[in-house]
Each structure stands twice: as structure tokens, then as C-alpha cells.
Amino acid sequence: MRPYLIILYFIACIFLGATSDALFDDGMKLWAHGLGALEVGLLLSGAFIFKLNIKHAAPFLISYIAFRIVGYDFTYNLLRGLPINYLGNTSIWDRFFSKYPIQGLWFARAIFLTLGISLTTRYLK
């Protein structure tokens, strides 16, 4: 049960981060900063919430990054009303991936989703 709670925790943190950035871009800076602070607070307290020790640090961090690669852009685009495959031109991430076909990006996200789920279920029990 614990790996699934950690995955839900990652999803909640990513949703908070994407919502914060979307609100910031829409001009609602007070709410954006509040949600951004809440996201950082949740991320920093994650090890204490799930009672993880130092050997769980690397799988925890890599899993979070993998889930963020998979879900952040989708969430941000949906919240801003952009097409789901939209890649902007300001973020380094978007400029890097805009050089490749969208099928490759979907394939990479599938790999990162598999990585995130497998690390969480295997090492964060």
C-alpha cells in the first residue's frame, strides 16, 4: 500500500507545482507563490511523512523526477487551456524536446513512467 501512497504523493506535488506555474503565468502571483511554497514544503517533508532513511533518498528523488517528466507538461497545458502536446519556447526542457518528433517524446515519457513506477514499487516499500 505504501508505494501507491508515494505515487499519489508525487502526483499531488506535481499538480501543485503545475498549478502554481499556471497561476503565475496567468498573473495570479499571490496564489502561485502560496501553492509553490506548499509544493516545496511537501517535497521537503516527504522523507519524514513516509519515514524514509538515507538508502531511500536516491530512489525517492529519481522516482519524483521521472513522474515530473511524465506529468508536469500535461497538467500545465490542461490548466492553461493549451493543446496537450504543446511545447513552448522559454523553458530549456521545451526547447530541447521541440527538436524531436512528438512520438519520441511520448515514448520517452512512457519509459520514465515505467521507471518511476518500478523504482517506487521496488525500493520504497
pLDDT in tens, 82-98: 998 888 887 787 888 78
pLDDT of residue 82: 92
Structure confidence at residue 57 as a pLDDT band (50, 70, 90):
very high
pLDDT of residue 55: 92
pLDDT of residue 1: 67
pTM above 0.85, yes or no: yes
Count of domains forming the chain: 1
pLDDT of residue 96: 80
- Within its chain, how far is the Cα of 23 from the centroid? 16
- What domain range includes position 52? 2-123
Q: How many CA atoms lie within 13 A of 106 on its CB side?
A: 6
